[in-house]
């Protein structure tokens, strides 16, 4: 067996490559638990793809059959309800993990030199994930699927001159309908594999310049590192087991908690639901969209609210990488995160009365983080960084 592997590896060094990148790869030895979310995100992606492939074997992308086919999966396919709940709950957990992963990067300055390109790959991944999740949510063809698709695709109508045509082009008709569902299904199956590709680039970049670490310092000493296996395989397994406990709790005891009851009502183009709300993981951005009374500007603000992450490495001018040593940044970041929850909460509320005001204030707070950062980071007095690990 060994000989056969060596023979193969000599011709296509896939085994030594995997060994180098997944086993012997050197990681800083001081990574804390916040660093487990990277590998958890990878596992969440694999869970989505595997469960998704099995769902695809039974799902029917047809406006007259889609809703029924989900019920067929839940009732008549062996283990169908597990797979389906796993996929639905798994999407939420994927986002939760990725939000934590991004938050960790923002706090510990993982976006700073020399990791900007790695950071970009991450943002691209986030965009791709959002596109995939959005299209996936349309597939069950419930009320929220339909109306969510309608609201979000309609945003493209703000594009000057060609907006309306773009929307018709996206729909493949003059309304969200059968062609829309079909193409969303095709893309929902395709994009995850593009995600896999970008994940490889993302990890490649990480391995090229090494992982950041809680001190943010560039580590040079050999003793500062440990091989990925067994140290971080063991640590990430602990992270995974805790993740699986929470995941399985949701999966087996409250699989519909994170979803919307309206999505168990078949899509009805002539009956608008009282409140159209996206999935929880889109709510902060949805709140920004609605906070601004002019639709065009709202759409742009929503786009920028995420795209601004691309320039974050240059907005932050502090020489100190890790938030640990940055007393003002630390509190700014805390306010940013808390405000993000407020945005999410207000995004789930109808856009009326006090909620409008709250959404405007927290939209302002959201952007002020990025606007203040260049100045604060320049003048902030940082604490001395620890010398040794």
Binding site for other proteins (CB under 8 A): 29, 68, 71, 74-75, 81, 107, 226, 230-231, 234-235, 237-238, 240-242, 244-245, 248-249, 251-253, 255-256, 261-262, 264-265, 274, 280, 324, 330, 333-334, 337-338, 341-342, 344-345, 348
Quick check: 58 and 76 in contact, CB under 8 A? no
**Is residue 279 annotated as a catalytic residue, yes or no?**
yes
CB of 184 to other proteins, least distance (A): 22
Q: Which is nearer to other proteins, 15 or 252 (CB)?
A: 252
225 secondary structure, DSSP code: E
Q: Which is nearer to other proteins, 132 or 363 (CB)?
A: 363
Quick check: 28 and 233 in contact, CB under 8 A? no
**Is residue 211 annotated as a catalytic residue, yes or no?**
yes
Catalytic residue, chosen from 69, 92, 211, 362, is 211
Query: Phi first, then psi: what are they for 27, rounded to 5°?
Result: -115, 150
For residue 225, list its beta bridge partners: 28
286: exposed, middle or buried (Cβ count in 10 Å: 0-12, 13-18, 19+)? buried
**The two structure tokens encoding residue 329:** 């940044």
CB of 272 to other proteins, least distance (A): 14
**Is residue 101 annotated as a catalytic residue, yes or no?**
no
Q: What's CA 60's distance to the chain center, in Å? A: 26
Catalytic residue, chosen from 26, 207, 209, 229, is 207
- Sole residue written with tokens 């990480």: 206
Q: Which is nearer to other proteins, 208 or 386 (CB)?
A: 386
CB of 266 to other proteins, least distance (A): 8
Nearest to 360 by CA among 369, 372, 351: 351
Catalytic residue, chosen from 150, 235, 260, 349, is 235
CB of 379 to other proteins, least distance (A): 22
How many Cβ atoms sit within 10 Å of the Cβ of residue 76?
9
Q: How much of the chain is helix, strand and coil, in % rounded to 5?
A: 70, 0, 25
Catalytic residue, chosen from 27, 262, 279, 380, is 279
CB of 200 to other proteins, least distance (A): 27
Spatial separation of the C-alpha atoms in residues 260 and 273, rounded to whole Å: 12
Q: Which is nearer to other proteins, 241 or 388 (CB)?
A: 241
**Is residue 78 annotated as a catalytic residue, yes or no?**
no
DSSP letter string, 285-338: HHHHHHHSSSHHHHHHHHHHHHHGGGGHHHH---S--SGGG-HHHHHHHHHHHH
Spatial separation of the C-alpha atoms in residues 190 and 195, rounded to whole Å: 9
Q: Which is nearer to other proteins, 171 or 236 (CB)?
A: 236
Spatial separation of the C-alpha atoms in residues 127 and 360, rounded to whole Å: 24
For residue 28, list its beta bridge partners: 225
Spatial separation of the C-alpha atoms in residues 348 and 278, rounded to whole Å: 8
CB of 269 to other proteins, least distance (A): 15
Q: Which is nearer to other proteins, 194 or 240 (CB)?
A: 240
Q: Which is nearer to other proteins, 115 or 324 (CB)?
A: 324
**Is residue 207 annotated as a catalytic residue, yes or no?**
yes
**The two structure tokens encoding residue 279:** 């999935």
CB of 243 to other proteins, least distance (A): 10
Helix 116-138 crosses helix 80-107 at what angle (to 10 degrees)? 150
Query: Phi first, then psi: what are they for 59, rounded to 5°?
Result: -80, 145
Residues with catalytic function: 207, 211, 235-236, 279
């Amino acid at each position: 067996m060994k000989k056969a592997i060596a023979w193969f590896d000599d011709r296509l060094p896939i085994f030594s490559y995997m060994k180098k990148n997944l086993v012997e790869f050197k990681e800083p030895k001081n990574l804390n638990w916040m660093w487990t979310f990277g590998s958890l995100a990878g596992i969440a992606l694999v869970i989505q793809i595997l469960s998704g492939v099995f769902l695809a074997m039974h799902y029917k992308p047809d406006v007259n059959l889609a809703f029924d086919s989900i019920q067929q999966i839940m009732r008549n396919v062996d283990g169908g309800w597990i797979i389906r709940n796993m996929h639905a709950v798994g999407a939420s957990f994927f986002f939760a993990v990725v939000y934590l992963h991004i938050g960790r990067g923002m706090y510990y300055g993982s976006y700073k030199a020399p990791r900007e390109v790695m950071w970009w790959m991450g943002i691209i991944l986030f965009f791709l994930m959002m596109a995939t999740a959005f299209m996936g949510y349309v597939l069950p063809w419930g009320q929220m699927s339909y109306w969510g698709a309608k609201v979000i695709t309609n945003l493209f109508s703000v594009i000057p001159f060609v907006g309306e045509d773009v929307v018709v082009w996206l729909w493949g008709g003059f309304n969200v309908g059968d062609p829309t569902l079909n193409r969303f299904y095709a893309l929902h199956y395709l994009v995850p594999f593009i995600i896999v590709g970008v994940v490889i680039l993302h990890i490649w970049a990480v391995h090229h310049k090494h992982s950041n670490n809680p001190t943010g310092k560039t580590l040079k000493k050999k003793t500062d590192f440990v091989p990925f296996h067994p140290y971080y395989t063991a640590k990430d397994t602990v992270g995974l087991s805790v993740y699986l406990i929470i995941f399985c709790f949701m999966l087996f005891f409250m699989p519909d908690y994170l979803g919307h009851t309206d999505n168990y009502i078949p899509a009805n183009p002539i009956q608008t639901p009282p409140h159209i709300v996206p999935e929880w993981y889109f709510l902060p951005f949805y709140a920004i969209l609605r906070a601004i009374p002019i639709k065009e500007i709202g759409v742009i603000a929503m786009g920028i609210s995420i795209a601004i992450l691309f320039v974050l490495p240059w907005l932050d001018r502090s020489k100190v990488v890790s938030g640990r040593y940055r007393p003002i940044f630390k509190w700014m970041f805390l306010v940013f995160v808390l405000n993000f929850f407020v945005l999410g909460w207000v995004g789930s509320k109808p856009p009326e009365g006090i909620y409008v005001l709250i959404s405007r204030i927290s939209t302002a707070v959201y952007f002020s983080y990025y606007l203040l950062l260049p100045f604060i980071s320049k003048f902030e007095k940082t604490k001395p960084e620890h010398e040794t690990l």
